[in-house]
Amino acid sequence: LCSFLQRQFIVESPKSTSGIVNMEAMKEAGGAFARLCFSLAKDLVQFRRECEEQLAVGWDDNCDDRSLGLSGSEVMRNGMGSMICIDWANRAKVYFSTSSFAKATERYVGPSTRLLTALFAAKKRYEILGMLISGTPMDIRLTTATKESLTREANVKFECWCDPFSVCDDNGFYGCFEDVDAAFGGFAPFGRNDVFHDIRKLKRGSRKGGSTAVLPPLDNTVASLYIRRIVDLLESGDKELIPLSFFVILHAECFRDLSHSPSVNDAMQLDPRLCNRHGLYVRYAEILPAGQHSFWKGEGDGASQISMTGSVLLLLQNEAGKTRFALTEKSLLSIIHSMAPNGLQNPADASFTQMGYLDGYITHSPIPSCPPMVVPQKTVIHQTDFGGLVAPPLAAPLAIPFTSSNICVQPRTSRLPFLIDDGEEDNNIDVVSGMLNNFDGNLFKPTQDIDIEELNGMGFFGAPLADTNIAHDSDRTTSRLLG
The pLDDT of residue 469 is above 80? no
Q: How far is CA 64 from CA 69, 70, 108, in A?
A: 9, 9, 15
Pairing type for strands 311-317 and 389-391 reads: unpaired
Q: Inform me whether the pLDDT recorded for 29 exceeds 80.
A: yes
pLDDT of 258: 80
Q: How far apart are CA 70 and CA 119, in angstroms?
A: 10
Question: pLDDT per residue over 211-263, tens digit each?
Answer: 999 999 998 989 999 999 999 999 999 998 999 999 999 999 999 888 888 99
Q: What is the pTM of this model?
A: 0.69
Does the pLDDT of residue 129 top 60, yes or no? yes
Q: Indicate the pLDDT class of residue 206, thresholds 50, 70 and 90.
A: low
Spatial distance between the Cα atoms of 127 and 141, rounded to a whole number of angstroms? 15
Selected residue with higher pLDDT from 282 and 55: 282
Q: Determine contact, residues 400/406, Cβ cutoff 8 Å.
A: yes
Cα-based angle 463, 467, 472 (whole degrees, multiple of 5)? 180
pLDDT tens digits, one per residue of 131-183: 999 988 889 999 999 999 999 999 999 999 999 999 999 999 999 999 999 99
DSSP state of 252: G
